[in-house]
Chains A and B, each alone.
Chain A
């Protein structure tokens, strides 16, 4: 143990909480991907030195309280309307960095129109998309992204594609639109993946600085409560089941 006490000194710190994150305890369930992605956005904002010039647009969904966790300016959108509000904020204050933060129910169900049209117009914003395949906040209902056969509270026997349609690969769809400059799908379940997601977020914010259009960073995520699994089991389940349907990587990088 004597080793340890000589190592634990301020000058030896190689990883600690960024000051862009507040000290508030996040309300998320243990292991929830939302927390990890919040942290990465905060780290990118710190590293780019844009804390005073960044405005986040919070969604409805579990991350409705995102504004409690990042020490930046925020607006709270009605459910699904974050891309429309982000459009307004960015057009009125083009010198600011503007990003929306949205779940799959928010971005790919109730907000489908706002999502598609903001991307089609090529609004110069970053959209962060947390795809956990479920409506986490309201108790685990089926989302447009719920996998075939995956149980949810509104389809306890699993999604029936003949009845509910196939899960929507909205990022692939958005990559087809001329307004998007960068569309990527990442995850945060391992340290290596966390590092990649951070690079993707950084690129997205840099695209905004370069006026390139809409950057969409999808993060395939877990919802251990909605999926009714432990956080580590949820990570394994995501690798086995989500990644084959939602493969990681860049769909567009211009």
Chain B
């Protein structure tokens, strides 16, 4: 099991389920949920959190700026 270097928090209420972040993630962390949010959108979530490298690609491409990206400081033990 890979150890996560990064993590994201998706604003599930705001997310429109466009899937642009899913395509942008180089390590296939993100999927769209089977459930829908209040607006009826299949919101994005970390399906494979261990793969996250904290590159911020998902946050950068999100048109609705729903994603906050975190990266562990180099050398920090989780």
A and B bound?
A: yes
Question: Is B47 positioned at the interface, with any CB of A under 8 Å from its CB?
Answer: no
Chain A, 1-42, CB within 8 A of any chain B CB: 1-4, 6-9, 11-17, 21, 25-26, 28-36, 39
Interface centre among B16, B63, B78 (most CB of A within 10 A): B63
Residue of B at shortest CB range from A42? B65
Contacts A14-B56, A30-B17, A30-B18 given; indicate if A9 touches B70 (C-beta within 8 A): yes
Question: Do the beta carbons of A33 and B63 come within 8 Å of each other?
Answer: yes
Question: Is A211 positioned at the interface, with any CB of B under 8 Å from its CB?
Answer: no
Question: Do the beta carbons of A4 and B4 come within 8 Å of each other?
Answer: yes
Contacts A15-B56, A16-B69, A235-B23 given; indicate if A7 touches B63 (C-beta within 8 A): no
**Closest CB of chain A to B75's CB: distance in Å?**
13
Question: Which residues on the A side are within 8 Å of B18 (C-beta)?
Answer: 30-31, 231-232
Question: Is A190 positioned at the interface, with any CB of B under 8 Å from its CB?
Answer: yes
Which single member of A8, A17, A36, A195 contacts B63 (CB below 8 Å)?
A36
Question: Do the beta carbons of B61 and A194 come within 8 Å of each other?
Answer: yes
Question: Do the beta carbons of B72 and A12 come within 8 Å of each other?
Answer: yes
Chain A, 152-211, CB within 8 A of any chain B CB: 188-191, 194-195
Which single member of B14, B17, B59 contacts A25 (CB below 8 Å)?
B14
Question: Which residues on the A side are within 8 Å of B56 (C-beta)?
Answer: 14-15, 191
Interface centre among B56, B61, B72, B73 (most CB of A within 10 A): B61
Residue of A at shortest CB range from B2? A3
Question: Which residues on the A side are within 8 Å of B59 (C-beta)?
Answer: 15-16
* A-side interface residues, number (CB < 8 Å): 38
* Interface bits A217-238 vs B (CB < 8 Å: 1, else 0): 0000000000000111001000
Which single member of A3, A33, A190 contacts B50 (CB below 8 Å)?
A3
CA of A97 to CA of B23, assembled, Å: 35
CA of A1 to CA of B29, assembled, Å: 13
Question: Which residues on the B side are within 8 Å of A190 (C-beta)?
Answer: 24, 61
Residue of B at shortest CB range from A23? B14
Which single member of A7, A33, A34 contacts B78 (CB below 8 Å)?
A7
Residue of A at shortest CB range from B24? A191
Question: Do the beta carbons of A15 and B68 come within 8 Å of each other?
Answer: yes
Contacts A3-B4, A30-B18, A231-B18 given; indicate if A36 touches B67 (C-beta within 8 A): no
Residue of B at shortest CB range from A9? B70
Task: Give the top 5 A-B pairs by smallest Cβ distance, nearest first.
Answer: A35-B63, A31-B18, A30-B16, A30-B18, A191-B57
Q: What are 23 A-B residue pairs whose CB atoms fall within 8 Å in the complex?
A: A2-B78, A6-B72, A6-B78, A7-B6, A7-B71, A7-B72, A9-B70, A11-B73, A14-B56, A14-B69, A15-B56, A15-B59, A16-B59, A21-B65, A30-B16, A30-B18, A31-B19, A36-B62, A39-B65, A190-B61, A195-B60, A230-B19, A231-B18
| B→A interface (CB under 8 Å) | 3-7, 9, 14, 16-20, 22-24, 41, 46, 49-50, 52, 54-57, 59-65, 67-73, 78
